[in-house]
Amino acid sequence: MPHNDLQLPKTSDNAARPDATDHPPALISALSEPDALIYWWVDIAYRKVQYSRSFCRQIGVQRDTLKSDPNAWQPYVHPQNLEELNNTLKSLRKDFVEEKTLQIRFWGPGGEWQWFKTRIRKVHNPTKHDRPFGLILFQDITAEKRAEMMLKDQSSQLAHALNNARQAVWDRDFRTGKTFYSRAWSEMLGYRPEDITDDPNMWQTLMHPDDLPDVLAADRAHLNGQTERFRQEFRMRHKDGHWVWILDRGQVVERDGQGNPLRMIGTHADITQRVETHAALEASQRKAEQAAQAKSDFLSNMSHELRTPLTSILGVSDLLLEELRGVLADQYISALTMQKEAGAGLLAIVNDILDFTKIEAGDLPIEDTPFCLPEQVATVLDLVEKIAENKGVSVHLKITDSSLDHVTGDPFRTRQVLINLVSNAIKFTPSGGLVTVSIRQKPEGIVEFQVADTGIGIAPDVIPNLFKRFTQADTSTTRQYGGSGLGLAISHRLVELMGGHIDVESTPNEGSVFTFEIPLAKAEPVTAPSQDTVPTIHCEEKLDGIRVLLAEDNEVNQALIKSRLEKSGATVHAVSNGLDAVDAAKTETFDVILMDIQMPIMDGMEASQAIKQDSVQPDCPILALTANVYAQKKATKDGIPIDAWLTKPVDWSLLISSIAKLRGNGQLDETPNAAGDDTINGEKQTDENGSASLTQEAEADNNPQLKEMLDLVGAEETLRLAQVFEEELKTRLEVVQAERENPAELSRQVHALASAAYSFGFIALSDCCRKIMALCENTDPDLASTLDEFDALASQTLLSISRISNQLSTAE
């Protein structure tokens, strides 16, 4: 309604005018109201009541119905208000009260109770012997009362919700300087509500002194408008003395025109249990990490103490078997063979345990580097060839897509999974059986590997547990075939780490098929930051008339590369460090520069930059040769002007075709066979027994790399280079053993050995050197065990190179 108080309006023509002879002038003037004014006036002496038209409309009755009956209003009053209103009117007649205000409910025409603020006032008439009248004014407050009750209900609901959520409320009024704390706020700290005053700083007196500075700083920042909300965790002292962890969240809800805070509301939540649980979990985690570190330290020591002597035992066993076969009696040869096989089995178990422990600890990184997939597969078949041959099992390889020659992924882990699956297939396949390794490209860069055998198969109820650690088909499997039961579990985790999955299908007594898929993106064999990638070819280019500057510090590598290029018709000027290469480029012109990256005095990157900036031929193309797969990434990042890259060990066909391409000779439109000469149409050829015919033996009679060296430089030069390599290996082995904690120095030392070892046919040592370089880039935890492996391989290589030298000396 338009009136917000009980002031009577001015006289209106629409007013109901009482009889002037009966009523005082003040009352007549007061009752000259518009229809909107709700009132009664009561003649107290004669007990008559006159009701305004607006009052009658409000309760939904005709004015004539009520007339002047002093009790006609009673049926329309709420029973709880009736007695109070009657008593007030009686008091008015007896002069007990002159004025009173009540809140009365009347029944409305809409079928519901309406609230009225009711003001009762006694008025005297001096013209009628001071005859008293009563004036009762009504103001409709139904909407306000409903809002009040709704707010009360909401407050009650909020109180219940906060109580159930263990939330307490505080409300800071910056105008009055007082703070309201809810009952739950005080009870959360063990106090009664009356114990807590409205002091705005009371919460500070209860807070832990170590937490107070940060909380006050956050509070100031929020009050100054620097943060949208206030949120802090801190400790407050409970009444009984212990500390309660509190999560305090609040927000300024009202500011003045200058942005100053006027009111801030927030909540407290008791998070003691959460904080204590988190602290307990952290303590448990620390204990677990300490236990894991102790286990890691133990395994590291075990690695050094077991793997090194085991590898040496195996190497010596191999040498003795080769040297003394036919000399010693058969029983001694048999004993040596048993020793070798037992040592190999024990080393495999140790390696499995170490690998799985690293996987569980998350210390087994996955590389993402370009590699030749057929070469890795060929290496796997080399390693299992003897086992398959001795057992009479044929191994076939099928690669149906030549685009898999060069891919990007983790070559070592891919090979490890394949070795595990193929070895298992051979192990569980009887003599005369067949193991088939199939590899094919699938959409979206996925490569599928499948290893199928015609072995004993696996029972269906065993398959679900097959990839769990220390699990084999049944207990008799371990007794009959050996093994740790970790191989498939390791393969499963490695495949998952590489982003793939592995599965198996098997029929008892018919065989098994293990399939795993991993993402292997296609990669180019040679990349150039400023030129097209240098293609590769089957056929051999001629380099007639091409002048080549060769910068290579390793004497073995330098001799081999120089001889090979000269055989193709090139003229080669060889230097042993980057500074000599820069000097040569200043005084002579060359068609192509071959640059090793790690060299003494000045490395290949610095030399390349100097040649491009200050030489007689700054546009001469530079082809980098490196055994470090990370070198190109670093050079590209640093802006080193190298035109193309090749990795060591050197692929001669690829090297010659790259030189020809950079020089501008010929159209190189053929694609090389990256798997080697024994692969035709993507399928590896086997001998008449079905076994892959590759070898890694570093012996003069059965060593393709050594034979190639003999063809290139002759027996006399090969003997000299073998002696050079032997001395270099001894020297660098000592440095490696002394610098185990210096990754940069380790990388330099093994880099010089990687390609030279490959040139003499020591493939395992060469691979180990490259692995050490990769691990040194990231200070990988796998480095320590790889260095142990390097020590053993180097010792074995020294025995082999000595024997090669003896064979060459005898041949002369």
Pairing of strands 592-596, 501-507: unpaired
Q: Point out which residues pair with 521 in neighbouring strands.
A: 408
More confident residue, 683 or 463: 463
Q: Is the dihedral of CA 753, 756, 761, 766 positive or negative?
A: positive
Measured in Å, how far apart are the chain's first and last C-alpha atoms?
126
Q: Where are the beta strands (DSSP E) in 526-670?
A: 547-551, 571-575, 592-596, 622-626, 644-647
Q: Tell me the DSSP string of 321-350.
A: HHHHTTTS-HHHHHHHHHHHHHHHHHHHHH
The rounded distance, in Å, linking the Cα atoms of 579 and 583 is: 6
* pLDDT score recorded for residue 811: 61
Domain boundaries, the chain: 25-147, 165-270, 277-359, 364-523, 547-680, 704-811
Q: What is the DSSP letter of 649?
A: S
Phi-psi region of 271 (alpha: psi -120 to 50; beta: other; left: phi over 0): alpha
Domain covering 25-147, topology: Beta-Lactamase (3.30.450)
At 573, is the pLDDT very low, low, confident or very high (cuts 50, 70, 90)? Answer: very high
Examine domains 25-147 and 165-270 and report if their fold is the same: yes
User: Region 536-544: what's the mean pLDDT?
Assistant: 55
Give the side-chain half-sphere CA count within 13 A for 811: 14
State how far the Cα of 85 lies from the Cα of 83, in Å rounded to an integer.
6
- Scanning 100-258, the segments in alpha helix (DSSP H) are 142-164, 183-188, 202-205, 212-223
Q: State the pairing for strand pair 679-680/683-684.
A: antiparallel
Per residue in 213-263, pLDDT tens? 999 999 999 999 999 999 999 999 999 999 999 999 999 999 999 999 999
- Return the biggest CA–CA distance within the chain: 160
Residue 36 token pair: 């909107």
Q: For 624, what's the count of Cα atoms within 13 Å in the CB-facing half-sphere? A: 32
Return the closest-CA partner of residue 520 out of 367, 682, 626. 367
Contact 409, 368 (CB under 8 A): yes
pTM: 0.37
Query: Which amino acid belongs to residue 755?
Result: S
In order of 203, 204, 279, 381, the CA distances from 209 in angstroms are 12, 9, 20, 70
Given a cut of 90, whether residue 438 has pLDDT beyond it is: yes
Q: How many residues does the chain have?
A: 812
Torsion on CA atoms 610, 612, 615, 618, rounded to nearest 10: 180
- Per DSSP, the residues of 29-60 read HHT---TT-EEEEEETTTTEEEE-HHHHHHHT
pLDDT tens-digit series, residues 74-126: 889 999 999 998 888 888 777 666 788 999 999 988 888 999 999 888 877 65
pLDDT at 33: 46
CATH code for the domain defined by 704-811: 1.20.120
Least confident of 214-228, 429-443, 650-664: 650-664
Q: Could you tell me which of 775, 769, 786 has the C-alpha nearest to residue 557?
A: 769
Architecture per CATH, domain 277-359, reads as Up-down Bundle (1.20)
Topology, domain 165-270: Beta-Lactamase (3.30.450)
Q: Is the dihedral of CA 54, 58, 60, 61 positive or negative?
A: negative
Say if residue 700's pLDDT is above 60: no
In this prediction, residues 694-712 reach a mean pLDDT of 61
Residues with Cβ within 8 Å of residue 368, at least 6 apart in sequence: 408, 409, 410
Fold (CATH) for 547-680: Rossmann fold (3.40.50)
User: In the chain, how many H helices and how many E strands?
Assistant: 24, 25
Which of 184-198, 399-413, 723-737 is predicted with the least confidence, judged by mean pLDDT? Answer: 399-413
- Homologous superfamily assigned to 364-523: Histidine kinase-like ATPase, C-terminal domain (3.30.565.10)
